Amino acid sequence: MDQFPFRFGALVFIACYLVLMLVLGWIARRQRKSESLSDFYLAGKNLGWFVLLLTLYATQYSGNTLIGYPGEAFRLGFPWIMSIGFMMSIIVVYLVFAPRLQKLARRHHFITPGDWLDFRYQSPTLTLIANMLLVVAIANFLLAQLMAMGHIVSGLSGGMLPYWLGVVLLAAVIIVYETLGGMRAVAWTDCIQGLMLLIGFAGLLIAVFPSTNHLKEVTEWIVKHQPEKAQVPPWSVLRTWVSTIVLVGVSGAIYPQAIQRIYAARNTQTLKVSLSIMVFMPLVSTLVVFLVGIAGIPHFQGLGEISADRVMPLMLREWAAQTPVMYVLAILVITGIVAAIMSTADSVLLSLSSILAKDFLGKTWLKHKPETDITRAGKLLSWVIMVILVFIALQPRITLWGLTELKMELLAQAAPAMILGVFWRRLDQRALLPGTVAGTVLAVALAAAGSGKVWGLHAGLLGLLLNLGICILSQAWLNRQEIVP
Amino acid sequence: MPKRSETTSVQRKTEPVQYRWIWLVYVLLFALSIPWYFPQSQNPAAIILGLPAWVLASMVAVTCIAIFTAFVVHRFWKDEPDVY
């Protein structure tokens, strides 16, 4: 990655930002009502619409949105406009199950996604399988965020700050404020991080397209010199487009950290307001990074083949060298990137520790212990998880980087149990189990065999279709057995 | 009494998932956000408002999805006791 002209002022700005996160964690600790699981993991189920909106937003938009998405737009061209639709599809899937799940969560005091599955199916096996899918998927996701922290710090400082320092420093800040204040600290820091992200996006838009005419010039250049990136996409790409909308919509909606935010909403009205604003966020976030990638196509044409992930850092380096105003904008965008990574990592870590503490330890070693003990175990688990994942992130030879690709594929297989059970009253765990197992095996086998996509459709979607097919047929058979004994 | 309230809740629609037409509209809007209906022979694409026409059509469709979702949330998601 090329050198970024980091100066003292920029380092001070980012250092102040990190200190602010720690201060918020400390204030959140002072605001705690008790040491209960609900207070630590769901902020006492009292998040108002503004905090809920920003924490949902900051959690959903990760470092990948700011680094990976411009790269994809640069590589694919205009077909990457699909990213706006697939980010919106997550909110549309929420409409299927969130209204009822939120009421159930309040009435029956759910803390984790596993609590919902236990309540609905009363099958320890199904809950265990679903939890394992969720844990593996989000542990990979957290690892990817830690590695992104290292790459961002080392890349943007031009190697002045080493990769390991980025991983360790940011991980340390996250674990400290999270242990101090739990969900309250995570949600509050997400607010600052969400605002930083929005400011970063606004800065990006101004930097990339200072005038409306500039967009037209960029498009005309692409049509003339790289027409394949502006043409109506071929059918193979259109099939992948459909597949991505379904896979991201279904998987993104059942991220444990997202489910727990539904639980944490103060009431139905706050959730309604937050989701109805969230659905517009891709238009001010994903669209902006899409345009950055598009602007990069003519801009970097002289550089020959460059790695897609370098588009954003290269843009930032150039802006920072132009004028003092652009330098400030670049710093805001960098802080936005750090904020996006941290806000996703903290939420995932909190969710992961809640599942392991409540659904695994709480049902075994800590079965008859008071909630305060489980909360304490959860905090300790957060440190253990963080230390293990930091260690893996620092050892490139044993990274699980390839597995992060499996995140959506695995999550999708838990979706029928999480979503269908909300409104399909007769759905039985005996119908769900074989479908979930078969779908997971197919998705993992296809991905492991290097067939991430078959006929343009993702392995995870094919697994989900098999999963649903088996589930529907099994349920029909069970219904028939009940009618004709 | 619980049975009565359960029946009442089922009859009174309180969630978007209970309206079939809402999901048909979503299918239509998502279908319109994917440019399958633009002939591939139309390449190179016409440029409107600085973007290829099919990109603009996709953006209009996703904007409609966002507006429709906000409408559905406020009009068809009612804050009432549920059936469970």
CA distance B26 to B32: 10
The answer, for B24 touching chain A at a CB cutoff of 8 Å, is no
Is the CB of A91 less than 8 angstroms away from the CB of B69? yes
SS (H, E, C) A81-131: HHHHHHHHHHHHHHHHHHHHHHHHHHHHCCCCHHHHHHHHHCCHHHHHHHH
Shortest distance between the Cα of A278 and any Cα of chain B, in A, equals 9
Amino acid at A323: T
Q: Which residue in A53, A241, A276, A419 has the most chain B C-beta atoms within 10 A of its own C-beta, making it the best mutation to test that interface?
A: A276
Phi (first) and psi of residue B19, to 5 degrees:
-110, 110
Q: From its phi and psi, is residue A161 left (phi > 0), alpha (psi between -120 and 50) or beta? A: beta
Measured in angstroms, the CA of B3 and the nearest CA of chain A are apart by 15
Say how far apart CA A160 and CA A458 lie, in whole Å: 40
Q: In the prediction, which pLDDT does A7 show?
A: 64
> How many angstroms separate the CA atoms of A118 and A245, rounded?
29
Per-residue pLDDT of chain A (485 residues; tens, 9 = 90+): 445 555 667 778 888 889 999 999 999 999 888 778 888 888 888 889 999 999 898 888 887 788 788 888 988 899 999 999 999 999 999 999 999 999 999 999 999 999 999 999 999 999 999 999 999 888 888 888 888 888 778 777 767 788 899 899 989 999 999 999 898 988 888 888 888 888 888 877 877 777 778 888 999 999 988 888 999 999 999 999 999 999 999 999 999 999 999 999 999 999 999 999 999 999 999 999 899 889 888 888 765 555 666 777 778 877 777 788 878 878 888 888 888 888 889 889 999 999 999 888 988 888 888 888 898 999 999 999 999 989 888 875 544 445 556 788 899 999 999 999 998 989 999 999 999 999 999 999 998 887 778 888 999 999 999 999 999 999 999 988 877 65
What ipTM was predicted for this assembly? 0.90
Collapsing DSSP to helix, strand or coil, A435 comes out as helix
User: Would you call A96 an interface residue with chain B, using a CB distance cutoff of 8 Å?
Assistant: yes
Q: Closest by alpha carbon to A459, among A474, A440, A478, A472?
A: A440
* DSSP string across A323-338: -HHHHHHHHHHHHHHH
B59/chain A closest Cα distance in angstroms = 8
pLDDT: is B75 or A403 the higher one? B75
Q: Which of B17, B45, B83 sits opposite A231 (nearest CB)?
A: B45
d(CA A40, CA A377): 12
Global pTM?
A: 0.90
When pLDDT is averaged across residues B37-64 and rounded to a whole number, the result is 87
